[in-house]
Amino acid sequence: MLIGELAQATGVGVETLRFYEREGVLPDPGRNVSGYRLYDDDALRRVRFVLRAKALGFSLSETKELLGLRVSPGVSCEEVRRAAGAKLSDVERRIEELRGMQSVLAELIEACAAEHRTDDCPILDALDDARGDSAMETEASVPPREIDLIYFDGCPHVEVARTRLRAALGGAAARPAWREWDLGSDATPERFRQFPSPTVLIDGTDIEGRDDRTSALACRAGG
C-alpha cells in the first residue's frame, strides 16, 4: 500500500508516518517503479501497535523497545512486565493528582451557594489570582489557567519538560492537567506549529522566552 493508504488505514498523518520511519519505528519501505513508498501488512501492524501503546501512555522510545522485544523470539517477558509496571505506577500517580483536583473542586462547589453574587463567588475567587482572599490561596502561587506542552512524539526532551511541569505544579493546592499538542498530529491547532519541540506555554507565553525559534535544544520535525 502507498503511504496515503497506510495513513487512511491507521488514522495517522502522513508526516507522522515519515517521522516513524526516521525514528526506526517503521523499517525503510520498498519503492515501486515510480519511486513511491510501498508498505506491507507488517507496517500496518507496527503503526497499530504504536497507537495502542500510546493510548496506554507509553512514549515513542518506550514503544520502540517493546517492538524490539516483540520481534525477538525467545526473549523473556520480564522486560515487558517491568515496562508495564513502571507505566502503571505513573498512571496511579496521575490518578492521585486527579483525585486531589476532584477534592478541591468539590469543596469549591459546596462553598458556592447559588444565591451568591458573582463578585462574591468562591469558585471565581479561586480562579482569580489577583485576589488575596482566594479560597485556594496557599504558600504556592495560584497555578496559571492555561498550560500547553507542544512537542513532537519521540523528542528526547519531552519527558524532561513533563518532569519540570510536575515539579513546578507539585506544591499547588490545585494541580491543573496541562494540555499536550503533538506536532505530528493533524488535530494540533495551526497556532502551535510555529514552536519547536518541546515548548511550554503558560497563558500563551513561552516560558523560555525564546524569540529565536531555532533553539539548539529543540527537536525538529523535519530532517
Q: How confident is the model at residue 167 (pLDDT cuts 50, 70, 90)?
A: low
Q: Where does residue 205 rank: exposed (0-12), middle (13-18), buried (19+ CB within 10 A)? A: exposed
- Mean pLDDT score, 66-77: 73
Any idea which of 23-27, 71-75, 103-107, 147-151 has the lowest mean pLDDT? 71-75
Higher pLDDT, 201 or 107: 201
At residue 149, the pLDDT reads 92
Tell me the per-residue pLDDT of 186-210, one tens digit each, with 9 for 90 and over.
888 888 888 889 998 887 787 765 5
Distance CA 51, CA 53 (A): 5
Q: Which residue has the cell 508495564?
A: 84
Q: Mean pLDDT over all residues of the chain?
A: 76
**Fold adopted by 143-223:** Glutaredoxin (3.40.30)
Look at residue 117 and tell me whether its pLDDT is greater than 80: no
At residue 170, the pLDDT reads 59
Higher pLDDT, 15 or 168: 15
Look at residue 108 and tell me whether its pLDDT is greater than 80: no
Q: Write down the pTM of the prediction.
A: 0.46
**The domains spanning 3-70 and 143-223 adopt the same CATH topology:** no
Look at residue 180 and tell me whether its pLDDT is greater than 70: yes
Higher pLDDT, 159 or 211: 159
Q: How confident is the model at residue 150 (pLDDT cuts 50, 70, 90)?
A: very high
> Which one is the CATH code of 3-70: 3.40.605.10, 3.30.1330.10, 3.40.50.720, 1.10.1660.10?
1.10.1660.10
Look at residue 89 and tell me whether its pLDDT is greater than 50: yes
Tell me the per-residue pLDDT of 20-69, one tens digit each, with 9 for 90 and over.
988 888 988 888 888 888 999 999 999 999 999 888 888 888 888 888 87
Q: In sequence order, what are the residues at sequence separation of 6 or more whose Cβ sits closer than 8 angstroms to the Cβ of residue 104?
A: 136, 173, 174
Nine cell digits for residue 92: 496511579
At residue 5, the pLDDT reads 93
Could you tell me which residues are beta bridge partners of residue 149? 180, 200
Task: Domain ranges for the chain, please list them.
Answer: 3-70, 76-137, 143-223
- Mean pLDDT score, 97-124: 72
